[in-house]
Amino acid sequence: MPSKLEDCMQQLISIFHEYSGKEGDKYKLNKTELRDLINNELADYIEKRDCSMVERILNDLDNDCDGEVDFNEFVVLVAALTIACNEFFQGYQNKSE
């Protein structure tokens, strides 16, 4: 039986591949796939402000400038959001003490 962290890692991989490759490269997220993933899986963490939001995220993550997000680039997004959430909750806890 996997640990909680191992389970989270497996889920992260599964979620990425659930959205990747619906169009084009099966190991990368294009803009449409990234938008769908963000809207369905990260809606509580990334606001749906405007159409350019996905474009900005894609450009920020796309280190190899191929117009798509591979798994390594996707993990950067998840890590950055996780760090931001941790900092928020630490700040919230410090204010309530």
pLDDT digits (tens, 9 = 90+) for 42-78: 888 777 655 677 788 888 888 888 989 999 999 998 9
Give percent above pLDDT 70 in the chain.
88
Give the domain CATH number at 28: 1.10.238.10
Half-sphere exposure of 22 (CA within 13 A, CB side): 15
- In a 3-state reduction of DSSP, which class is residue 60? helix
Q: Which of 69, 51, 49, 47 is nearest to 60 (CA)?
A: 69
Say how far apart CA 65 and CA 5 lie, in whole Å. 31
**For the chain, how many structural domains are there in total?**
1
pLDDT of residue 42: 86
Least confident of 28-32, 37-41, 57-61: 57-61
- In terms of residue numbers, what domain contains 87? 4-96
Say how far apart CA 53 and CA 59 lie, in whole Å. 10
Confidence label for 30 from pLDDT (cuts 50, 70 and 90)? very high
